[in-house]
Amino acid sequence: MRLAALDLGSNSFHLLVVEARLDGSFVPLAREREMLRLGDRVARDGELGSEAIAAAVDVVRRMKAVADAQRADEVVALGTAALREARDGVELADRIREATGIEIEVVDGLREAELVFRAVRSSVLIEPAPALAADLGGGSLELMVGDRSGLAFAASLRLGVGRLTAELVHTDPLSRRDLARLHERVAAELAPAMRGEIADLAPKLLVGSSGTFLSLARMAIAERDGQLPDALNQLTVPSAAFEALGRRLAGTTADDRQRMPGCDVRRAELVPAGLVVLEELFAASGLDELTLSEWALREGAVLEAIGAHDRAELGDDPRALRRFSVLSLCRRCNWRPRHARQVAAVAVELFDALSDRHGLGPDDRELLELGALLHDIGEHVARTGHDRHSAYLIENGGLRGFSPDEIKILSVLARYHIRGTPKASFGAFGGLSRPDRLRATGLTALLRLADALDASHAARVEHCEIGSAGDALELAVAARGDAELEQWMFWRKKDLFERHFGVELRLRLDEHGSHVIDLLHEDASGLA
């Protein structure tokens, strides 16, 4: 089934067309965006006006054509603050229906918050929980507190960046007086909720969604690191980086900001108000970093339409999102589950047996297991060079709940699971810090051994143990039947382990019996 979600926001209109999957996931097919700034007009005049209505109808007509070209079976269209507040908002909805046949659902702030939070918790790992999620639009700021199990609190505040800019910003560059008025307004509007129910819920994580927050994050990272971030979803940016950005922005005009790396030129005028909202959120919440969600209202509408809760919302474990996302990508790539699960099981057993030597933690153990599930998905493209194809699919497969660096590590695992030493010339590896490069190399060495120990794809290895053999390590492997191929591949693939960990690795193979072990059991999470 193909679905189109149309988000008629106060700043911009967005279209998302997706292919819905049976497991409750979806694959994006097309995205469109048009900046209209309707919220500015409503803030100033209380209405959209005939010119803006005509422009909005034309945009929706074009987006409907895109949805039709993608053969969308259903279009879900939502209107937010500008449409619900404008005196002529009903006229715009009627004009769109007449021109395109699309019925617009004008949502209130609570409904908007519910849909946004549905998207956030399906996109971002909420850990530690609960999270305070903030979605900053042109007309309103939605605040939500919740965790993996659901939404505990929601509020919609009239603090959209378009509204604040239209009402309080009168100079370019921003004057001290206008800046003070922005801080005063935002702090006053935030105070009742932040000191009341939100304080009682004690959120431990601040999550930001919307184009303005994403643009601010890109600008802050570019200012700090001298380069733009590779990806934004699950990226965490400290408040200090935004403080430095604020100092850099002091005295700049909108034209100056358009030329700054990371700035969306269509949002340059809105950046000061957006930064004030973020600074006041940091101050009021006591939190000192922002985690980004690329998903928001339109993704929430898609998830609701396809009933993704049937699988993605199963259980309260926040990390179930990561496994669900990985398994969804595996299935889309027509994976071989028997081999992938066997390699994952052996890799985790090796990780545990070598815990005293590798010094890696529980998060690394999880990445190794999930990387093992993904390592051969490139065969969906071609058997030859499938390591490179796997790495590409991992980096571009829309995995949710992983930081950009974690996705790079998963890509490295796939790229080097056959041969070679990870090198900076491979973009994902080159983009990692030195500590993360060491993590990635160590995990790759373990994955390569586990892959070797299922070279026949017959799930012969039943158990592994690590012991000392003089100055070397001895890997004792219990296998059923003839494991000659596994033994041969082990000798070919152990070189990275020996180089990285600085120790010789020997193999003692105990072959016995031919009884069958069923490795196609359901995962404990129920998501297999």
Q: Give the per-residue pLDDT at 315.
A: 60
How confident is residue 513, by pLDDT bands cut at 50, 70 and 90? low
Tens of pLDDT, residues 114-131: 999 999 999 999 999 999
Q: Is 265 helix (H, G, I), strand (E, B) or coil?
A: helix
Beta-bridge mates of residue 134? 143, 208
CA dihedral 59, 65, 67, 69 (to 10 degrees): -150
How many domains is the chain partitioned into structurally?
3
Q: Are residues 150 and 60 in the same domain?
A: no
Tens of pLDDT, residues 150-202: 899 999 999 999 999 999 999 999 999 999 999 999 999 999 999 999 999 99
Domain stop point among 107, 133, 152: 107
pTM, full prediction: 0.90
Q: Are residues 391 and 432 in the same domain?
A: yes
Which range marks the domain in which residue 210 is found?
A: 124-294
Q: Are residues 458 and 413 in the same domain?
A: yes
Whether the predicted pLDDT of 112 surpasses 60: yes
Whether the predicted pLDDT of 253 surpasses 80: yes
Q: What is the mean pLDDT of residues 437-466?
A: 96
How confident is residue 307, by pLDDT bands cut at 50, 70 and 90? confident
Q: Quick count: other Cβ atoms within 10 Å of Cβ 105?
A: 14
The enclosing domain of 196 has a CATH number of 3.30.420.150
Distance CA 500, CA 161 (A): 51
Q: Are residues 351 and 498 in the same domain?
A: yes
In a domain, 92, yes or no: yes
Q: Are residues 97 and 133 in the same domain?
A: no
Q: Which two tokens stand for residue 170?
A: 């009168």
In a domain, 169, yes or no: yes
Rg of the chain in Å (alpha carbons): 26
Yes or no: say if 456 and 336 are a contact pair by the CB < 8 Å rule.
no
The enclosing domain of 61 has a CATH number of 3.30.420.40
In a domain, 360, yes or no: yes
Q: Are residues 253 and 333 in the same domain?
A: no
Whether the predicted pLDDT of 312 surpasses 50: no
Q: Which two tokens stand for residue 246?
A: 């604020």
Whether the predicted pLDDT of 309 surpasses 90: no
> What is the percent of the chain with per-residue pLDDT over 70, rounded to a whole number?
95
Tens of pLDDT, residues 277-295: 999 999 999 999 999 999 9
How confident is residue 489, by pLDDT bands cut at 50, 70 and 90? very high
Q: Are residues 87 and 181 in the same domain?
A: no
Yes or no: say if 2 and 72 are a contact pair by the CB < 8 Å rule.
yes
Quote the distance between the C-alpha of residue 400 and its chain's center.
4
In a domain, 427, yes or no: yes
Q: Which two tokens stand for residue 430?
A: 């080159």
Q: Are residues 274 and 419 in the same domain?
A: no
In a domain, 526, yes or no: no
Q: Are residues 134 and 63 in the same domain?
A: no
Q: Are residues 201 and 340 in the same domain?
A: no
Domain stop point among 62, 77, 107: 107
In a domain, 299, yes or no: no
Tens of pLDDT, residues 368-423: 999 999 999 999 999 999 999 999 999 999 999 999 999 999 999 999 999 999 99
Distance CA 411, CA 392 (A): 7
CA dihedral 417, 421, 422, 424 (to 10 degrees): -160
The enclosing domain of 354 has a CATH number of 1.10.3210.10
> What is the percent of the chain with per-residue pLDDT over 90, rounded to a whole number?
89
Distance CA 144, CA 117 (A): 7
Q: Are residues 441 and 495 in the same domain?
A: yes
How confident is residue 25, by pLDDT bands cut at 50, 70 and 90? confident
Yes or no: say if 160 and 143 are a contact pair by the CB < 8 Å rule.
no
Yes or no: say if 43 and 66 are a contact pair by the CB < 8 Å rule.
no
Yes or no: say if 169 and 178 are a contact pair by the CB < 8 Å rule.
yes
Question: Which residue did the predictor score with more confidence, 213 or 522?
Answer: 213
Question: Which residue did the predictor score with more confidence, 212 or 514?
Answer: 212
In a domain, 305, yes or no: no
Q: Are residues 344 and 427 in the same domain?
A: yes
